A and B are shown apart, each in its own frame.
Chain A
Amino acid sequence: MILPALLLALVSPPASPAGNWRAVLDLAGGELRFSLNVRPAGRVLRGSICNGRSCTPLSGIRVAGDTVVLEMADYAATITSVLRGDSLTGIYHNVGNRGPRTIPFRASRGRWRIEPASADLLGSWDATFVTDGRSSPRVLLFSNDSSGFIGAMMSNTGDYGRFWGRAEADSFRLAHFDGSFVYMLTGRLDGDTLRGIFHAGLRTQTAFTAVRTTGRPHLRSPTEMTSADTSAPFRFAFPGLDGRTVANTDLRFRGKVVLLDVFGTWCPTCHEASPMLVDLYRRYHGRGLEIVGLAYEVTGDTAVDAPLVRRFQVTHRVPYPLLLAGTSDVASAAATLPQLQGFTSFPTSIFLGRDGRVRLVYAGFLGAATGAQHDRQVAEFRATIERLLAEPPR
């Protein structure tokens, strides 16, 4: 009896992680749920992590014996796990300057149940976050879609990506995990007020209350965050991926409407904004629109950054030039674009008129998770481009 079993074990292929997984990061405030999908692609495995219908591809999957390593290269993060039957157990790990961050990870085969929220929770909420006696505003948007209960959260510097989760009676739990950011919103409806906690990573919990959006502005307008010197054409000159400098004085930009996209490959929201920019380019390039991506990358070292930007270009099929402009912090962007004041967020969109001067600066990007607000932003971008294209060349 033992020998046949042993032979069977020897000839059986190793277990594969291919399939759909109900995945969890165990935070102090409870389980952060997301979906993990792994599929064979020729001789390799490909995969993605998903918050509802919003998915982020994994950069690689390595399998050695029963060890499965999920890689998220853009964020220098990995999930290292052990495959036993229908479960994966391990840790999520990424690295900072003060050491690694580790969060327990587990997954079981299958798909999460769809658990939509009742109408009482849906809609737009003006939230106030309070930390150590200091408050700051957010807007929460809750809705249902085919994946269940989804949400978005916006601050004065942009949105936090799509949240997905579940609701039970008046309580809810929504999460966003993209390989880099580990966010969770938990709370309940107490009369007319939402009371909850925003969890960031393992250590940070911020209490909030929220009331239904009244219509009065709760956040600053994205067009009022950053201002610009409009007394002269907006100057930029940075190397492209081929090493040649692209500058605002190049003939290709003369008399054109130019949209500068200040972005980084490390920034999930920038990835989300890219398809809209590609669509704008395809719609309006023939009428005189140029788009230039200014990449602010992690290291500032061309040998490291250029391949990341090239991958971004390929992934999103970007037809316009992407330039290596600086490193991935607000100070770097502000220093290399000194005609801007109050630069706050990635991405930022800078619209230049046909005279090369700044006409509008739009801080942040409202992703598809924000629903009508996303649609409104897309409409505003198109209207701005149409208006600037209609101006006579100077």
Chain B
Amino acid sequence: MIRQTLVPLLTALAFLPAPRLAAQAPADLAAERAAFTDWLIHSPVSPYAAVSAAPLDPAGVGLELGGRTARIVERNGAAWLEGAGAPRVLPRNRPALVGTTTVLVTGEPPRSRVMLFGAGRRAVAPAYYPYDPALVFSGTLVAPTAPGSERVLTPDGVEVEATVAGTVTVPLGGGTTLRVLRLPDPGSEESSLEIYFRDGTSGTGSYPAGRFVTLAPIAGGRYRLDFNRSRNPFCAYNAAYPCPAPWRGNTIAVPVAAGERYESHP
């Protein structure tokens, strides 16, 4: 099989604006980052507001409610809240307010997880490397030889069955082939082609365990791989989240100084 290479997008767009303008983050990326920062600081299910995460095992998860303890238990495939009035089913993949605590049940049985969120939070905007147009690539995805799947953690630490989508090769570090998995978006027709990678900045400017970057479809069956859109897993914001283990082989030997940075917070 001939392995196709993702080529720098600028090669194909040689007549685009001068370097000074090109070095500015495009408007859609700026809007995306602004919306994410707003969500991070204000959403009730922001990683900054997470208090704890626990597997929803048969013993259930306790929840303090004004001096008494309610429990969340899994029964018949659903998460039930008991001990807080009549038993009721909690939504899955959507937040629910129980007393003053926001509860988020994620994952699928028997690997469901309960996240609890409180009111306290930091108001720290994510930090990013300067936009680097040389780290935007386009190309095709090389399909796997046979369908397959792997159990992995999503950016927010939920265990899912991801399908093996293929590989891409980028001209970094002498040419690096990266594995691509399709992560499902529960309850929707949408999914995303994700690469979880480490590089020369991991632990020295970016998050040590790695960063996620999404392959975005463009015309003609091709994809854009923009490392400026690399983002941290949620465990980078709050240790309550399980942290995805680095994906086998997805290490770029040179620094990829683009996308989200990481500075540890006390």
Q: Which residues of A pack against B, CB within 8 Å? A: 28-30, 91, 93, 95-100, 102, 104, 131-134, 181, 183, 198-205, 298-301, 304, 326-329, 331-332, 334-336, 338
Contact = CB atoms under 8 A, between A and B. Distances in A.
Given A98-B155, A300-B91, A335-B75, A200 B39 contact: no
B24 to A, nearest CB: 17
B261 interface: no
Nearest to A335: B78
Task: Please report whether the interface of chain A is mostly helix, strand, loop or mixed according to DSSP.
Answer: mixed
Given A95-B43, A132-B165, A326-B88, A200 B147 contact: no
B3 to A, nearest CB: 18
B189 A204 contact: yes
Given A299-B94, A327-B96, A201 B190 contact: yes
Nearest to A198: B189
B35 A93 contact: yes
- The 7 A-B residue pairs whose C-beta atoms are closest, nearest first, are A335-B78, A327-B91, A133-B147, A335-B76, A200-B189, A332-B89, A100-B35
Nearest to B186: A329
A102 B95 CA distance: 20
Interface residues of B, number: 56
A28 B218 contact: yes
A201 B80 CA distance: 32
A38 to B, nearest CB: 23
Contact of B35 (A91, A200, A335): A91
B204 interface: no
B67 interface: no
Contact of A327 (B90, B144, B164, B234): B90
Contacts of A298: 91, 94
Contacts of B92: 327, 329, 331-332
A80 B214 CA distance: 25
A301 B100 CA distance: 12
B185 A96 contact: yes
Interface in B213-266: 214, 216-219, 234
27 contacts: A28-B216, A93-B35, A97-B45, A97-B95, A98-B156, A98-B234, A99-B40, A100-B35, A100-B36, A102-B35, A131-B163, A132-B143, A132-B147, A132-B163, A133-B143, A134-B147, A204-B189, A300-B81, A300-B88, A300-B90, A300-B96, A301-B97, A301-B98, A326-B78, A326-B88, A329-B94, A334-B78
Contacts of B95: 97, 299
Interface string B145-158: 01100000011100
Contacts of A134: 147, 163
A298 B97 CA distance: 11
Contacts of B90: 300, 327
Interface string B22-42: 000000100110011011100
A269 to B, nearest CB: 13
A98 B217 contact: no
Contacts of A201: 188-190
Contacts, number: 134
Nearest to A207: B221
B177 interface: no
A336 B78 contact: yes
Nearest to A334: B77
Contacts of B36: 99-100
A391 to B, nearest CB: 32
B209 interface: no
Contacts of A198: 189
A331 B77 contact: yes
B187 A329 contact: yes
Interface string B100-111: 000010100100
Nearest to A329: B92
B220 to A, nearest CB: 10
Nearest to B81: A300
B6 interface: no
Contacts of B214: 203
A131 B154 CA distance: 19
A201 B75 CA distance: 33
A97 B106 contact: yes
